[in-house]
Structure 1
């Protein structure tokens, strides 16, 4: 039994290493023949804790030709006043107020749609308010575009500040590196092979308009993946890149937010398909949790250490590639267990018709 698992996990480790190698990084040197206008578009709803940081970060960008449009999406805290204070008289910034949310739209998607209508740029960069950027980020990103590249996106470095975020947040990186053939995702226009992260999505304007922008995914809770697929269907490439050297995302402040955010996304991210969710749950339990059980409780031998090392090495490879906390891989079996618990809770929210709640709104 252990020998079989060792062979399987040796193959998985080689696959994860190969996939990580195939994930391109942003170019370290930017050689720009021109400086097209970039519209930096930031939707905000109850983001008072992030306002000062994100605006100061954007002000520090070294790229000289950009505009910033911020939408206050009916915030119930001091987001709007803090934005006004932070931007002061900087003419690069514009604050707009969100319109009432239509019944058939998801809140963030509608906010992004409104931002796009105000944007004048040749490139549209959608940022979440909890993102932090290296000052040279825009130069490196725009240098990554080819003429037939419609979208550049990637999973940022995600600092974690509580146990639940340590368990769950880095798993999004692992799932992509383990399941998605990155070379196929980046080198073909096959829409099924696509991943994206809504915290950082940079579109060529013509590609964004070709898919009718966020209107094409207006009712999606995982609009980042769905709009990326639309871009591919419109005959553009989508580049999934390792942006962790330049982009960070402080996704959740509390364990409650971590649980709420992942339970909102995980089952919809599987297309709300219960059979697929059950299959993946069984796969992860058998492949990633069971080896620890049999190694630690039934067969505590040299081969047990080899098997555990191979399993942990897969997570370590991804964590190092994406610049996560170096020792976080040691929590991997617990991360898998908690991920499965969140998945089942997300399925429960769907089946019970309670819906998925986020920032004071509930979506069925």
Structure 2
């Protein structure tokens, strides 16, 4: 088989898988939900985000909600802001995380302590840079109840405000929909086909407690994915839904922050000694090599398939159109991050975030 045909085949595979996943990605409707939804927010130096995050959570409709913020050693004004909000609305509570134990990562520890504080039937974990839509909490809880799901997650609509973000952030939805069989839907029961986005995770409380909660994945940085796999390994059902209508998030600002952010949990995903060479061949062959093989018609078709899928994913994810022409560079940067993360891991360099350093590990 020639290189041209190989590249065309590597481009056709994610296109077919991506179209199938896009057609079947659940889109939730506004519904009423029974029970209390605890909206749980770990916060470490989030003074710039926390007030807007809490305000959006309090605007939830269709379900009774409480909002609990876990101050995780902030050195800015985060706790003072939350105290003011709690004084104004009894649905808001502030808790302080105890010192971080040596065998935990920071966010996972804060989430575990949040679950202990929660009073709800449903535990909705969100990041401080997430802004929930008014019907999101109710829609996720109602969907979980109707389909008997232990966990529902989605990728919020990513707010992209710079070229560096446009080169990196769109890879999240593209890789999820183009390369994961089933796209994380509940019909794919295997743990290794689970998926989740830690920015937006709803858990049914009894199931969460039965699998050990965040304590069962205490050493990881990619906690959403690890928790989804834990649920499935214990016989529970999880599902990824269309998160763009449910919430928005600007996760990073600028290229340097994107690089550091994606680097921190890479070795818990693609960047493994056995997996990354395979991923490099698949992504490079489909999204990079066709440009070197022009003007062969197979290369032209591979590029059209690649950009067509990227366009469909971008429109569904409600991401900026101008990121579509950047797609080859996005795949190149994604691979560069993974290889850099693997090189750091190989020489014992720890992953780090917000002033903490951790040896990145696989989920326990």
**What residue number does 2:202 align with?**
202
Instruction: Tell me, in whole angstroms, the C-alpha distance in 1 between the residues paired with 2:107 and 2:334.
Output: 24
Does residue 1:262 correspond to 2:262, yes or no? yes
* Aligned residues of 2:72 and 2:96 also touching (Cα < 8 A): yes
Deviation (angstroms), 1:7:
5.4
Does residue 1:78 correspond to 2:77, yes or no? yes
User: Aligned pair in 2 of structure 1 residues 218, 5: CA closer, same or farther (>3 Å)?
Assistant: closer
Aligned Cα RMSD in Å?
A: 1.9
| TM-score of the pair, normalised by structure 1 | 0.92
Q: What is the total number of aligned residue pairs between the two structures?
A: 356
**What residue number does 1:111 align with?**
110
Does residue 1:216 correspond to 2:216, yes or no? yes
Instruction: Tell me, in whole angstroms, the C-alpha distance in 1 between the residues paired with 2:37 and 2:184.
Output: 28
User: Aligned pair in 2 of structure 1 residues 109, 183: CA closer, same or farther (>3 Å)?
Assistant: closer
User: Aligned pair in 2 of structure 1 residues 184, 91: CA closer, same or farther (>3 Å)?
Assistant: closer
Instruction: Tell me, in whole angstroms, the C-alpha distance in 1 between the residues paired with 2:13 and 2:254.
Output: 36
Equivalent of residue 21 in structure 2, options 8, 19, 22: 19
Instruction: Kindly provide the CA deviation profile for residues 275-302 of structure 1, in whole angstroms up to 9, marking residues without a partner as x.
Output: 211221232222210101222xxx2x66
Instruction: Tell me, in whole angstroms, the C-alpha distance in 1 between the residues paired with 2:6 and 2:97.
Output: 56
1:80-159 to structure 2, matched below 5 A, reads 80-145=79-144, 146=146, 148-159=148-159
Instruction: Tell me, in whole angstroms, the C-alpha distance in 1 between the residues paired with 2:121 and 2:308.
Output: 42
Does residue 1:44 correspond to 2:46, yes or no? no
Deviation (angstroms), 1:13:
2.0
**What residue number does 2:178 align with?**
178
**What residue number does 1:361 align with?**
356
Instruction: Tell me, in whole angstroms, the C-alpha distance in 2 between the residues paired with 1:340 and 1:233.
Output: 29
| TM-score of the pair, normalised by structure 2 | 0.92
Deviation (angstroms), 1:37:
0.8
User: Aligned pair in 2 of structure 1 residues 96, 85: CA closer, same or farther (>3 Å)?
Assistant: same
User: Aligned pair in 2 of structure 1 residues 303, 233: CA closer, same or farther (>3 Å)?
Assistant: closer
* Aligned residues of 2:68 and 2:92 also touching (Cα < 8 A): yes
Gaps of 5+ in 2: 360-364
Partner SS for 2:220 = coil
* Aligned residues of 2:34 and 2:142 also touching (Cα < 8 A): no
